[in-house]
């Protein structure tokens, strides 16, 4: 199902707020953490320096919030394609014990997320908590599920937090990437 840019703008997009502008940069704080990628290779955020990064968290067993995140991320990829811009899409798992490279590869294949600029990452429990705190994404276990917030963060080429997509409104999705 394809959502229109206007629909996403009406539901999800937030602008850089003073709180977002005051947040610490991705570099150097989390730059050197070596995440396990769905490829089986190790990847650090430092390796993505110099590129726009679209980042969120999720987990392969999620059936609610993560599905919405994927729809939004696909729409952002489409917008970037139309604008002729490039970005790296980074999804870090909330559930590193379950989301192995094999699990993430199947998740990607099933959702047609196979472009090389998409990265599905797992890390230690401690690094998972650190990135969740950094992205201001609360999460907790409930029965067999992980309940969590929805947020997508856009980082500029220098790793500065520039925009966030949350459950609020924004009028102009087409200009989301203008100054990045």
Q: Taking the domains of the chain in order of start, what are their residue ranges?
A: 5-167
For the cut 60, the answer to whether the pLDDT of residue 170 exceeds it is no
Contact between 120 and 37 (Cβ < 8 Å): yes
Q: Determine the topology of domain 5-167 in CATH.
A: Glutaredoxin (3.40.30)
The percent of residues in the chain predicted with pLDDT above 70, rounded, is 78
When pLDDT is cut at 50, 70 and 90, the band that residue 173 belongs to is low
- Mean pLDDT, the chain, rounded, equals 81
Residues in a beta bridge with 161: 155
pLDDT tens for each residue of 70-125: 888 998 999 999 999 999 999 999 888 889 999 999 999 999 999 999 999 999 99
For the cut 60, the answer to whether the pLDDT of residue 3 exceeds it is no
Q: How far apart are CA 54 and CA 166, in angstroms?
A: 13
pTM beyond 0.75: the answer is yes
Query: Helix (H, G, I), strand (E, B), or coil: what is residue 148?
Result: strand
Of residues 25 and 73, more confidence is placed in 73
Q: Among candidates 48, 47, 68, 46, which has minimal Cα distance to 56?
A: 68
Residue 121 pLDDT: 97
Contacts 24+ apart (CB under 8 A), 107-112: 107/38, 107/60, 108/38, 111/70
């Amino acid at each position: 199902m394809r959502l229109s840019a206007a629909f996403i703008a009406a539901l999800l997009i937030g602008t850089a707020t003073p709180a977002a502008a005051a947040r610490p940069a991705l570099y150097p704080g989390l730059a050197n953490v070596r995440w396990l990628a769905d490829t089986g290779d190790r990847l650090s955020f430092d390796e993505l320096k110099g590129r726009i990064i679209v980042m969120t968290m999720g987990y392969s067993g999620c059936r609610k919030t993560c599905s919405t995140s994927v729809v939004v991320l696909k729409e952002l990829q489409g917008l970037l394609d139309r604008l002729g811009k490039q970005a790296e899409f980074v999804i870090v798992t909330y559930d590193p014990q379950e989301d192995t490279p094999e699990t993430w590869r199947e998740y990607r294949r099933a959702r047609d997320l196979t472009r090389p600029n998409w990265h599905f990452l797992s890390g230690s429990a401690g690094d998972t908590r650190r990135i969740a705190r950094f992205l201001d994404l609360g999460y907790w276990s409930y029965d067999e599920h992980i309940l969590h917030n929805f947020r997508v963060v856009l980082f500029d080429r220098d790793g500065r937090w520039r925009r966030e997509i949350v459950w609020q409104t924004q009028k102009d999705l087409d200009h989301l990437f203008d100054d990045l």
